Amino acid sequence: MSTTNTTKAEENAQPHIPSASDSEAMKSRLKESYDAIAATYNDWTTQHSSLREKYLDKLLGYLVPSVAAPSQPGHGQVYRILELGCGAGIPVTERLVNFDFASSDEKGASSFHIVANDLSSTQVELGQKRLGGSLVSFQTNNLIEWIQGDMTKLSFPDESLDAVIGMYSIIHLPKEEQAVMIRRIARWLKRPSSSDDHGSVGGGGIMLLNFGDEASDGEVIDKWLGEDKGWMYWSAWGTEKTMEIVREKQNGLEVLVEEVVSEKEDGAVDVMFLWVIARRT
């Protein structure tokens, strides 16, 4: 993460670079932090949702043909979506769960099957309370399945997912693991189909991720959001190198959106994030 102003939160910062072998210890500490500050984070995040909603809308425009062109008929498709580091589901999982295809599709014709993953058991429990427990069906026909744990331990068959979303979550991995995750996600995304059961051509799976814009081998803040138990860790390759990894030939990804956006965090700090939407080709 890059910051351009200095605040009290920054004064608490102690640069720290965990080696790969420290990764498990770092994640266990991060889990404790998110468990402890879940309520504060969720209050804070509720007031800072607009950028996430903007990029989620972009993703949905690429993913669901009838969102981009309402006159297009739905095809009864079940979209398999993985969300990495979903927190308590605010605002992304909630929007997906409540997405009503009836307004842009034949009623009940298509649906989302969302796999919502987070490291923090407290956040997952809060999400389940708000949105429903494991594999619950909603009025909209969408389904949700919660998986608590480290995203790097997840595994899915190649070409099995329609979308993978990770907002402000991959940034918590050591950067070497971020590169591994990008390559894995690319493999999990479906390739375009020449023709589906309904005779229509399907686009490839889509990923929406954000990253720190400025390179950092690892940055620690002891009291994020002013919380005594708000120990945090982030790292980043920086925009140029991240995009190099995304564009590696073996990933087969076409970049649809690459934008660096400045945000206000923790009161007054300007933080720059790289937002990427890419489609499997």
Query: Which residues form the interface with ligand SAM (CB under 6 A)?
Result: 27, 30, 34, 45, 52, 84-87, 90, 117-120, 123, 150-151, 167-169, 172-173
The least CB distance from residue 123 to ligand SAM, in Å, is: 5
| Residue with Cβ nearer ligand SAM (151 or 269) | 151
| Residue with Cβ nearer ligand SAM (52 or 280) | 52
| Residue with Cβ nearer ligand SAM (65 or 220) | 220
Give the phi and the psi of residue 152 in degrees, each rounded to 5. -75, -10
The least CB distance from residue 127 to ligand SAM, in Å, is: 9
Rounded to whole angstroms, the Cα distance separating 12 from 260 reads 26
The least CB distance from residue 178 to ligand SAM, in Å, is: 10
Identify the residue whose tokens are 């770092």: 26
The least CB distance from residue 1 to ligand SAM, in Å, is: 11
The least CB distance from residue 31 to ligand SAM, in Å, is: 6
The least CB distance from residue 253 to ligand SAM, in Å, is: 21
| Residue with Cβ nearer ligand SAM (110 or 269) | 269
Rounded to whole angstroms, the Cα distance separating 212 from 58 reads 20
| Residue with Cβ nearer ligand SAM (98 or 193) | 98
| Residue with Cβ nearer ligand SAM (144 or 167) | 167
Residue showing the smallest CB distance to ligand SAM in the complex? 85
